[in-house]
């Protein structure tokens, strides 16, 4: 069983409340698939509504904490040492297409360090949580990163840039090399869930570039508390600044990092 701090209970309550709205809206989105215009505006509204619920719940419980939110941006708090980092709907493209693979992501930063993280898939009702020094949990069951040591036996997740986003060539270069070495590659569509899956040992490793802090803040502590390693793509701890992320157990983190590095070196 996990022992929550009061802050984690607050995060869980906020996520569950927002999730009820997302569950309802997701049902509606599935109906809207058949309309020609599709559910795009509806999804934007669902996203904003979820963020508002989380913002209200957390502000009520912890007045003074600051916020960094995907939709609402930065909200300064009187308490400068605490900040919530929130993505109310990670996996928007999946949500929009009726694919039940998306999440709510809430991270808590104290003095610039992530001390708690929650990633919740409202459809599968899987709640991943972690607090510094307390381990990582999935629905109250302790989770750990996978123990595999060979890339050839590993399932590795990644992100690919959507239409109109930069760096398609870079991804093609990296994917080509990774595909040649691993058992399988997955592109699931929610960076927060990708990290949660690494923490739970479902994915052996994961990498992606150009992410925002709200995509990864909660997932980073999940992986670390599950015994895994996380860095940016150059092996440094600047994930929130560079937007690059590389995660796995110690061995696969290093091996995947080497493959990615080599992918960008000209053949000699
Ligand atoms: C996206 C997802 C996706 C990742 C994108 C993110 P959103 O977040 O995490 O997996 O590849 O880069 O922007 O837009 O669905 O919140
Ligand atoms: Ca996101
Ligand atoms: Ca989002």
Query: Pocket of ligand 1, candidates 50, 161, 215, 217: which has the most ligand atoms within 8 Å of its Cβ, to mutate?
Result: 215
Beta bridge partners of 119: 105, 128
For residues 181 and 212, give the distance between their C-alpha atoms in angstroms, rounded to a whole number.
28
Q: Look up the domain containing 230 and give its range.
A: 151-263
Determine the average pLDDT of the residues in 84-88: 98
Determine the average pLDDT of the residues in 236-251: 97
Task: Read off the pLDDT of residues 149-168 as tens digits, 9 standing for 90 and up.
Answer: 999 999 999 999 988 887 89
Other CB atoms within 10 Å distance of the CB of residue 75? 14
Residue 189, pLDDT score: 98
* Of the residues 107, 123, 143, the one at which a domain ends: 143
Nearest CA to ligand 1 atom 8: 90
Cβ–Cβ under 8 Å, residues 66 and 74:
yes
Query: Pocket of ligand 1, candidates 92, 158, 191: which has the most ligand atoms within 8 Å of its Cβ, to mutate?
Result: 191
Q: Which residues contact 150 (CB under 8 A, 6 or more apart)?
A: none
Determine the average pLDDT of the residues in 78-84: 97
Q: In terms of domains, do 116 and 203 share one?
A: no
Q: In terms of domains, do 188 and 66 share one?
A: no
Name the average pLDDT for the chain.
95
Residue 108 lies in a domain: yes
Q: In terms of domains, do 42 and 82 share one?
A: yes
Output the six-digit token pair for 213: 């802090």
Nearest-atom number in ligand 1 for the CA of 70 is 16
pLDDT tier at 207, thresholds 50, 70, 90? very high
Residue 267, pLDDT score: 66
Distance 1 CA to ligand 1 centre (A): 31
Q: In terms of domains, do 22 and 128 share one?
A: yes
Cβ–Cβ under 8 Å, residues 70 and 214:
yes
Q: CA separation (Å) from 18 to 50, 66, 93?
A: 5, 19, 18
Q: Is 87 in the pocket of ligand 1 (CB under 6 A)?
A: yes
Q: In terms of domains, do 139 and 11 share one?
A: yes
Residue 1 lies in a domain: no
Distance 88 CA to ligand 2 centre (A): 8
| Domain harbouring 170, CATH code | 3.40.190.80
Nearest CA to ligand 1 atom 12: 211
**Per the confidence metrics, is the pTM higher than 0.85?**
yes
| Domain harbouring 81, CATH code | 3.30.540.10
Q: In terms of domains, do 95 and 183 share one?
A: no
Q: Is 228 in the pocket of ligand 1 (CB under 6 A)?
A: no
CA neighbor of 212 nearest in space, from 193, 191, 231: 191
Q: In terms of domains, do 180 and 204 share one?
A: yes
Nearest-atom number in ligand 1 for the CA of 94 is 15
* Of the residues 96, 113, 143, the one at which a domain ends: 143
3 state SS of 116? strand
Q: Is 189 in the pocket of ligand 1 (CB under 6 A)?
A: yes
Residue 42, pLDDT score: 84
Q: In terms of domains, do 163 and 198 share one?
A: yes
Q: In terms of domains, do 156 and 172 share one?
A: yes
Q: Is 191 in the pocket of ligand 1 (CB under 6 A)?
A: yes
Residue 33, pLDDT score: 73
Nearest-atom number in ligand 1 for the CA of 89 is 16
Least confident span in 85-99, 113-127, 157-171, 206-220: 157-171
Cβ–Cβ under 8 Å, residues 127 and 215:
no
Residue 268 lies in a domain: no
Cβ–Cβ under 8 Å, residues 217 and 240:
yes
Question: Would you say residue 1 has pLDDT above 70?
Answer: no
Q: In terms of domains, do 74 and 177 share one?
A: no
Nearest-atom number in ligand 1 for the CA of 190 is 10
């Amino acid at each position: 069983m996990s022992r929550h701090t009061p802050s984690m209970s607050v995060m869980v309550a906020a996520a569950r409340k927002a999730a009820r709205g997302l569950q309802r809206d997701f049902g509606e989105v599935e109906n809207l698939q058949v309309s020609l215009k599709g559910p795009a505006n509806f999804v934007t509204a669902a996203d904003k509504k979820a963020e508002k619920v989380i913002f209200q719940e957390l502000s009520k419980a912890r007045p003074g904490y600051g916020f960094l939110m995907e939709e609402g941006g930065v909200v300064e708090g009187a308490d400068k040492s605490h900040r919530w980092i929130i993505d109310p709907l990670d996996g928007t493209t999946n949500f929009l297409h009726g694919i039940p693979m998306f999440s709510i992501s809430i991270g808590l930063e104290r003095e610039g360090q992530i001390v708690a993280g929650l990633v919740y898939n409202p459809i599968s009702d899987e709640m991943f949580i972690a607090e510094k020094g307390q381990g990582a949990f999935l629905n109250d069951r302790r989770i750990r990163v996978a123990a595999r040591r060979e890339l050839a036996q590993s399932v590795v997740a990644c992100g690919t840039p959507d239409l109109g986003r930069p760096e398609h060539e870079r991804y093609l270069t990296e994917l080509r090399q990774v595909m040649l070495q691993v058992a399988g590659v997955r592109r699931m569509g929610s960076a927060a869930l990708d990290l949660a899956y690494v923490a739970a040992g479902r994915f052996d490793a994961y990498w992606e570039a150009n992410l925002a802090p709200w995509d990864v803040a909660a997932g980073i502590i999940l992986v670390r508390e599950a015994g895994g390693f996380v860095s940016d793509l150059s092996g440094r701890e600047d994930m929130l600044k560079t937007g690059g992320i590389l995660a796995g157990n110690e061995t696969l983190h290093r091996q995947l990092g080497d493959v990615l590095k080599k992918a960008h070196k000209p053949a000699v």
